[in-house]
Structure 1
């Protein structure tokens, strides 16, 4: 029986060993190829109007709140339109002050196309800076971190179908009554 178990182990390991050898050969062949670093192209700027935070309190040890999205504008070389009221930013504020952000809202493009946006990200910085932001002060966005990765859902056959097949990065700033998002397409 011991021989039978040992034989099965060898038989099962055979394909993995063979595949591992093939992968090693492929990795060696690809060693000389250089992948290019992604380039960023400014696609649009959002000016997102927000309402007062709705505090949920501590949920599973994390402070939770919802920030209503009440409207706004979209301007840029690749998209223009307006942000529709009715979305929100669901935030989990960690003990270290990091805001784990998940926003969901809709845009109406200038041509009438409706586009859905989901936008997860993080905002963090020194406690004194975060306190100033919470107090409604305008704070230089260079002294805290606020980055998101927006995703767009849109009809593929619309003029804006490119949004649903492109990766985006965003740098953001939080103000008393709005959030500014500069969104870059990753080329």
Structure 2
């Protein structure tokens, strides 16, 4: 499946012992492919930007299918920008995806019988950061 996730500007909490903490609110989006529907507004991605430029991501959000079934998503991952683009990324600039390793491991939870199988499989996500949203392609591990 593919998700196009609309996001707000980061809310920066500042430097902590592990790095810069920020929270990015999810405004909504679309879901296509094996699951069709929308990304519900109200989720968030909590991030730690480490001194070496690696970003640890921990997102929580919900999907609503076109059949009105709700699927909760816990999606953890990492984003690492290649040198010499790390400073530009730290300034908030969008870096061409060929210079960014951005992978996630989504886990799905639902009471829907139609989508119960999502809880019994493992998935990998490959993401791209765009100016106003995230494109996330999710693949089932066979």
Q: TM-score, normalised by structure 2?
A: 0.93
Residue 8 of structure 1 corresponds to none
| CA contact 1:129–1:144 (8 Å) conserved in 2 | no
The structure where helix makes up a greater share of residues is: 1
Q: Say if 2:18 is the partner of 1:47.
A: no
Task: Flag the structure with larger Rg.
Answer: 1
Structure whose residues are more often strand by fraction: 2
Please provide the CA RMSD for this pair.
1.4
Q: 1:151 to 1:94 in 2, by over 3 A?
A: same
Aligned residues: 141
The answer for unaligned runs of 5 or more in structure 2 is: none
Q: Determine the C-alpha separation between the residues in 2 that align with 1:90 and 1:127.
A: 24
- Kept after mapping to 1: 8 A contact 2:18/2:48: no
After TM superposition, list the pairs within 5 Å mapping 1:112-123 onto structure 2.
Answer: 112-123=68-79
Q: Equivalent of 1:178, from 109, 116, 133?
A: 133
Name the residue aligned to 1:62.
19
State the shift of 1:84 in Å.
0.4
Alpha-carbon distance, 1:126 to partner = 2.1
Give 5+ residue unaligned stretches, structure 1: 1-43
Query: What TM-score do the two structures reach when normalised by structure 1?
Result: 0.71
Q: What do the CA deviations read for 1:36-68 (whole angstroms, capped 9, x no partner)?
A: xxxxxxxx0000000010000012242100000
1:98-128 per-residue CA deviation (whole Å, 9 max, x = no partner) reads 0000000000011000100010000002244
